[in-house]
Amino acid sequence: MERLNPDKLPQHVAIIMDGNGRWAKKRNLNRIAGHQKGIESVRDVVRTSRELGIKWLTLYAFSEENWRRPKYEIDTLMDLLNRYLKGELKEMLDNGIRLACIGQTEKLPQEVQRTLWQTIEKTAHNKEMTLILALSYGGRQEIVQSVRNMLEDIEKGKLTVKQITEERLSKYLYTAGIPYPDLLIRTSGEYRISNFLLWQMAYTEIFITPTLWPDFRRERYLEALLDYQKRERRFGYTGEQIIHPKQEKTQHK
């Protein structure tokens, strides 16, 4: 395999971990077995990200819409999450990983909330990498919530309508202080973003792989990163402007 260029790594990778159910179905197992196996991929990807020096990793673990699933599956997912957090604390502390979360976490079961906040607190001083779990997360709901909070600040006189800019709005999102994702990976071959980081992904590079999440291990991840390194991120500029930034800068000042 070609080598990764350590100077061109994404700062922030976001992943839609999809395909656990299909992984299990292919083996005549129940969906839960797929979720269990998927946790091994989570460990692998977190470890690899930390080793490579990726600073931010956001994992879509449970969407706002996932509350529509059968109660048994939700309960089991919550239990797995709780156990994952407890089991990973030592590894996070040993490796300088800080935990953060985004989403309507107040909807999570009390026990999970407790473990989540404890882990966040205990890892708050870690500086090597931030692992962000998207839990009960929905991009539209996030935007609605930030608009509400912004309007409240206007009512209180803390903000004026004229002061609302892209930058200001982004500070009201769950992801305030977190850079926008450079790369989105979605496993299991679905070509959709399923209400994930709608605002934040305006210029994110997208990598979709048919690999099901429980099979998405280090090698597959490295392939995605290698693919990312071949992209030319233009942000609206022409390709020539990207290749000769200095010349263009003077012309456009």
Task: Determine the angle formed by the axes of helices 71-94 and 110-122, rounding to 10 degrees.
Answer: 10
Closer residue to ligand IPE, CB minimum distance, 35 or 98:
35
Q: What sign has the CA pseudo-torsion 134, 138, 143, 149?
A: negative
Q: Is 28 annotated in the active site?
A: no
List the catalytic residue out of 30, 66, 95, 195: 66
- Considering only residues 34 to 63 of the shown chain, the ones binding ligand IPE according to CB under 6 A are 60-63
Choose the one of Mg ion, ligand IPE, none that binds residue 66, judging by a C-beta under 5 to 8 angstroms depending on kind.
ligand IPE
> Minimal distance in Å, beta carbon 88 to ligand IPE?
17
Q: How far apart are CA 237 and CA 20, in angstroms?
A: 39
18 lines the binding site for Mg ion (CB under 5 A): yes
Q: In this structure, are residues 44 and 221 in contact, taking their beta carbons and an 8 Å threshold?
A: yes
Q: How many CA atoms lie within 13 A of 188 on its CB side?
A: 19
Closer residue to ligand IPE, CB minimum distance, 56 or 60:
60
List the catalytic residue out of 18, 20, 82, 182: 18
- Taking phi over 0 as left and psi of -120 to 50 as alpha, with beta for the rest, 132 belongs to beta
> Minimal distance in Å, beta carbon 18 to Mg ion?
4
Closer residue to ligand IPE, CB minimum distance, 109 or 169:
109
> What would the x/- binding string for ligand IPE be over residues 180 to 209, using CB under 6 A?
--------x-x-x-x---------------
What Rg do the C-alpha atoms of the chain give, in angstroms? 19
Closer residue to ligand IPE, CB minimum distance, 9 or 212:
212
- Residue of 150, 126, 149 lying closest to 56 (CA atoms): 126
Q: In this structure, are residues 226 and 4 in contact, taking their beta carbons and an 8 Å threshold?
A: yes
Sheet architecture: strand order including 56-63 = 97-102, 129-137, 56-63, 12-16, 183-186, 205-208
- Considering only residues 72 to 131 of the shown chain, the ones binding ligand IPE according to CB under 6 A are 77
Choose, by CB under 6 A, the member of 12, 13, 21, 85 that binds ligand IPE. Answer: 21
Q: Is 20 annotated in the active site?
A: no
Counting Cβ atoms within 10 Å, is residue 249 exposed (0-12), middle (13-18) or buried (19+)? exposed
Look up residue 188 and give its amino acid: S
> Minimal distance in Å, beta carbon 187 to ligand IPE?
8
16 lines the binding site for ligand IPE (CB under 6 A): yes
Instruction: Give the residues lining the site for ligand IPE (CB under 6 A).
Output: 16-22, 60-63, 66, 77, 188, 190, 192, 194, 213
Instruction: Give the residues lining the site for Mg ion (CB under 5 A).
Output: 18
Active site residues: 18, 66
